[in-house]
Amino acid sequence: MTYLDHAATTPMRACAIEALAKHAGAVNPASQYASGRKANAVLQEAREQIAQLLGADPVEVIFTGSGTEADNIAVRGLYAASELDRVVASTIEHPAVLESVHALERTGAKVDWLSVGRDGHVTDLSALDTPAAVATLMWANNETGAVQPVEEAARRAQAVGTPLHVDAVQAVGRIPVDFHALGATTLAASAHKFGGPRGTGLLLAQRSPAPQPVIVGGGQERGIRSGTVDVASAAATAAALAEAVGEMEAETARVRQLRDHLAKFILATIPNAVMTTQEPALPGHAHFMFPGANADAMIMLLDQQGVEVSAGSACSAGVIRLSGVLEAMGIGPEEGMGALRITFGRTTTAEDIETIKALLPDVVERARLV
């Protein structure tokens, strides 16, 4: 099997599986007796390690149940904590953010959208120069891999006192992330994107303004995310992040070289192929469009031959529609419905690239006949 969908999820690292197994028996870390204190010590160690790796203070690390949950808490919670009713968001946010913004819109929020160019990057940040309850901009887009101008966004939001949320789910573990240096109010990450367990998210949240809770309960995690924290998952997340950050420099160079090699081949071999991914971008992301080809057919034909990739277009109730991200970039259905996202990770080898090279020209040709 040739797995080339690391943006969807990446296999769990051995060190994370080890940490998960080692701490699977941990009790409630809020319990006062010895085993509770022991569980809490493991949790705090994971919190400290994550904080250090991401340039945050331990108190700013909030464990959540997913990246989606972290995004919801940040966007809805910062809005709820503000007196203002204005929201600023980019048009290419992941549904975890986009649907949170739409939910606020339905309750009366006024949304100003940051538009993007055909290269997938936000073009104009001036909406950030007027105060808002919350502004939100992703660090890197999950479809195209385009890295957004988050540093400038943070500077401009800070200048007018707007809390900024950054969805860094695709960025953490792949490119350097320093929460304090960035100056955002909140930042979301997800463990399964960097070799940690699925179902564990991270929200980095400055002390003030803090998001109001979206769910209420026992007041764990500064009251921002109530619910008993899974100690084993927290330890596994810290272990995976430490390994990902440790090998980042070497892995960036390695996957970028594989990506560039494949891109060069595709653009030279497949007629009318377009590389959607434009720099600055994540090193292991390659998004292509093959005008006139059917994305579902390409995925199916590759899958039949053991190659796993994904499309840019979303399938809703059996109707294939153009990806909202591509649409926001001004791309039409002829190009956008023939989109393929190929993403690389630490298990990707040169052999995997040769495998897809041998299949793709024929697959695209056949998918253009559908």
Among 60, 71, 221, 335, binds ligand PLP (CB under 6 A): 71
- Distance, in Å, from the CA atom of 266 to the CA atom of 261, rounded to the nearest integer, reads 9
How do beta strands 319-321 and 339-343 pair? unpaired
Query: 277 or 294: whose CB is closer to ligand PLP?
Result: 277
Shortest reach from residue 156's CB to ligand PLP, in Å: 21
Among 2, 90, 100, 142, binds ligand PLP (CB under 6 A): 142
Query: 40 or 230: whose CB is closer to ligand PLP?
Result: 230
Other Cβ atoms within 10 Å of 93 Cβ, number:
27
Stretch that binds ligand PLP, among 164-172, 282-290, 299-307, 349-357 (CB under 6 A): 164-172
Residues 6+ apart with CB under 8 A from 256: 283, 284
Among 16, 63, 67, 195, binds ligand PLP (CB under 6 A): 67
Query: 201 or 336: whose CB is closer to ligand PLP?
Result: 201
- Distance, in Å, from the CA atom of 83 to the CA atom of 289, rounded to the nearest integer, reads 44
Binders of ligand PLP in range 172-201 (CB under 6 A): 190, 201
343 touches ligand PLP by CB under 6 A = no
Among 6, 13, 94, 225, binds ligand PLP (CB under 6 A): 94
Stretch that binds ligand PLP, among 52-60, 61-69, 149-157, 238-246 (CB under 6 A): 61-69
For residue 315, indicate whether it is catalytic.
Answer: yes
Query: 66 or 186: whose CB is closer to ligand PLP?
Result: 66
Q: CB-based burial of residue 175 (10 Å sphere; 0-12 exposed, 13-18 middle, 19+ buried)? A: middle
Task: List residues bridging with 5 in a β-sheet.
Answer: 343
Residues 6+ apart with CB under 8 A from 356: 2, 4, 262, 302, 307, 309, 342
What is the DSSP code (8-state) at residue 203? E
120 touches ligand PLP by CB under 6 A = no
Shortest reach from residue 64's CB to ligand PLP, in Å: 9
Stretch that binds ligand PLP, among 14-22, 166-174, 249-257, 323-331 (CB under 6 A): 166-174
One-letter amino acid of 150: V
- Distance, in Å, from the CA atom of 267 to the CA atom of 288, rounded to the nearest integer, reads 9
Among 16, 46, 138, 205, binds ligand PLP (CB under 6 A): 138
Task: List residues bridging with 62 in a β-sheet.
Answer: 203
Binders of ligand PLP in range 218-237 (CB under 6 A): none
Stretch that binds ligand PLP, among 16-24, 30-38, 162-170, 212-220 (CB under 6 A): 162-170
- Distance, in Å, from the CA atom of 366 to the CA atom of 58, rounded to the nearest integer, reads 53
Exposure class string for 32-46: b at 16+ Cβ within 10 A, else e: eeeeeebbbebbeeb
144 touches ligand PLP by CB under 6 A = no
Shortest reach from residue 86's CB to ligand PLP, in Å: 23
User: For residues 236 and 16, is the Cβ–Cβ distance under 8 A?
Assistant: yes
68 touches ligand PLP by CB under 6 A = yes
Query: 74 or 157: whose CB is closer to ligand PLP?
Result: 74
User: For residues 336 and 312, is the Cβ–Cβ distance under 8 A?
Assistant: yes
96 touches ligand PLP by CB under 6 A = yes
Task: List residues bridging with 166 in a β-sheet.
Answer: 187
Helices (H), the chain: 14-22, 34-54, 67-80, 95-106, 150-159, 179-182, 231-246, 248-269, 295-304, 324-328, 333-336, 350-367
Stretch that binds ligand PLP, among 65-73, 100-108, 300-308, 322-330 (CB under 6 A): 65-73
Among 42, 169, 273, 311, binds ligand PLP (CB under 6 A): 169
Q: Which of 14, 253, 267, 315 is catalytic?
A: 315
Which residue ranges make up the site for ligand PLP (CB under 6 A)? Answer: 66-68, 71, 94, 96, 138, 142, 167, 169-170, 190, 201
Q: Which residues are catalytic?
A: 315
